[in-house]
């Protein structure tokens, strides 16, 4: 049984690994895939930690792969926001968890064991151990249709390029191991359109309660944002238009 822990990607950068026989890659494959990956990261950031930007630095490595360093740059204007220092340390763990979850997802429901500090997810022969705060953030991000669309855009150009043998995420350009690796034959899982939850048919519950909420910081710009908070363990969000 394969076991993976989502605790390795705690820095401000992550390395995207493209498997192949040569230390080169088609420029269209690379740019389209990286654009999809960066947009997926931005979409996830908009859900769990708004106000950050993604800078991409590309560097080739030795034979057998091509790697790109993707760095997350914080916007100084929002460093004092509600999620600063929390989502910042777990951000790439959340991104990698969202992608890997789509890769291992099967028709049968996963067995989820929630502990105080971590969550164990058993899906077929895969066992994933995720810090609880990463799991909760990833669950919110996976519900966003834009995140789903951007992940498909990451893998569609790779599926069309027969020279790409796999996709992976690792911690630095020189890392010999790729903790999260998806072989080419599994790309269709990532490009498949998933059925998103239908809010009109999903079971809902209504509970009226008086509560006082204080807005610590508001960002007003042209991007579509959401109010997001947790009430008695239930995540609540609403779009701002």
pLDDT values of the chain reduced to their tens digit, one per residue, 241 residues: 567 788 888 888 889 999 987 677 888 998 999 999 999 998 998 888 766 666 677 766 665 678 888 888 766 554 444 445 455 678 899 999 999 888 877 666 778 898 888 999 887 777 888 899 899 889 889 889 999 999 999 999 999 999 999 999 988 888 888 889 999 999 998 998 765 554 444 455 566 667 766 666 665 655 555 666 665 555 666 665 5
Query: SS3 letters for the chain?
Result: CEEEECCCCCCCEEEEEEECCCCCCCHHHHHHHHHHHHHHHHHHHHHHCCCEEEEEEEECCCCCEEEEEEEEEECHHHCCCCCCCCHHHHHHHHHHHHHHHHHHCCCCCCEEEECCCEEEEEECCEEEEEEHHHHHHHHHHHCCHHHHHHHHHHHHHHHHCCCCCEEEEECCCCCCCCCEEEEHHHHHHHHCCCCCCCCCCCCCCCCCCCCCCCCCCCCCCCCCEEEEEEECCEEEEEEEC
């Amino acid at each position: 049984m394969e076991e993976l822990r989502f605790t390795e990607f705690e820095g401000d950068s992550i390395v995207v690994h493209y498997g192949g026989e040569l230390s080169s890659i088609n420029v269209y494959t690379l740019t389209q895939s990286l654009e999809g990956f960066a947009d997926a990261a931005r979409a996830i950031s908009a859900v769990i930690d708004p106000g950050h930007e993604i800078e991409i630095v590309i560097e080739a490595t030795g034979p057998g792969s091509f790697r790109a360093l993707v760095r997350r740059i914080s916007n100084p204007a929002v460093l004092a926001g509600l999620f600063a220092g929390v989502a910042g340390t777990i951000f790439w763990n959340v991104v990698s968890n969202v992608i890997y979850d789509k890769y291992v997802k099967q028709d049968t429901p996963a067995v989820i064991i929630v502990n105080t500090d971590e969550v164990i997810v058993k899906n077929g022969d895969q066992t994933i151990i995720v810090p609880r705060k990463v799991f909760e953030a990833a669950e919110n991000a996976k519900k966003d249709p834009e995140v789903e669309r951007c992940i498909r855009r990451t893998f569609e150009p790779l599926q069309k390029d027969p020279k790409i043998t796999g996709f992976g995420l690792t911690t630095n350009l020189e890392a010999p191991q790729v903790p999260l690796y998806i072989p080419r034959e599994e790309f269709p899982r990532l490009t498949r359109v998933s059925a998103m939850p239908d809010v009109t048919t999903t079971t809902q519950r209504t509970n009226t309660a008086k509560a006082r909420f204080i807005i610590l910081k508001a960002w007003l710009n042209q991007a579509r944002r959401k109010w997001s908070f947790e009430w008695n363990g239930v995540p609540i969000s609403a779009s701002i238009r």
